Amino acid sequence: MERLKLKIAVYLILIKDNKILLSQRFNTGWQDENYSLPAGHLDPNETIVGATVRETKEEIGIEINQEDLKLVHTMHRLGIYVDFYFTTSTWTGELTNLEPEKCSDLAWYPLDNLPKNIIPSVKLAIENHRNGISFSEYSILEK
């Protein structure tokens, strides 16, 4: 019997003044036009925290120290991914959309009025984080 091989993704939840930073996917082939968080995949021989720091710098141009990241939610998207959601309140640099070929919008949105076209698993992770829930499982078959 072959063992299940899951992919790992990392996400950054940035909240400031009761607003959350969201990015709108564009021209990626998956969930295009829907909102997500700054995120990316774990590369071979990379730590999960290191991937979060790298993806953040690549996508939105800010620098984060690894020790300032706090793991706030883990999600198992059944049969596909394990997602790690981090947050921080400390960073340096200017928030900039460094991947306009993949992201058509990078902006702050009110936490109590998220865009309707947010990726459902990301929305659930944000809600769980706000409610202090650190782990969830998500199946697209249930949605």
Q: 114-125, pLDDT tens digit by residue? A: 999 999 999 999
Confidence of residue 141 (pLDDT cuts 50, 70, 90): low
- What is d(CA 83, CA 117) in angstroms, rounded to the nearest whole number? 20
pLDDT of residue 102 exceeding 50, the answer is yes
pLDDT of residue 142 exceeding 70, the answer is no
With 0-12 CB in 10 A as exposed, 13-18 as middle and 19+ as buried, what is 9? buried
Instruction: Give me the residue spans of the domains in the chain.
Output: 7-142
What are the φ and ψ backbone dihedral angles of 59, each rounded to 5 degrees? -90, -40
Of the candidates 81, 24, 28, 88, the residue with the CA atom closest to the CA atom of residue 53: 88
* Cα atoms in the 13 Å half-sphere on the side-chain side of 49: 10
- Looking at the domain 7-142, which fold is it? Nucleoside Triphosphate Pyrophosphohydrolase (3.90.79)
pLDDT (tens digit, 9 = 90+) per residue, 37-71?
Answer: 999 999 999 999 999 999 999 999 999 999 999 99
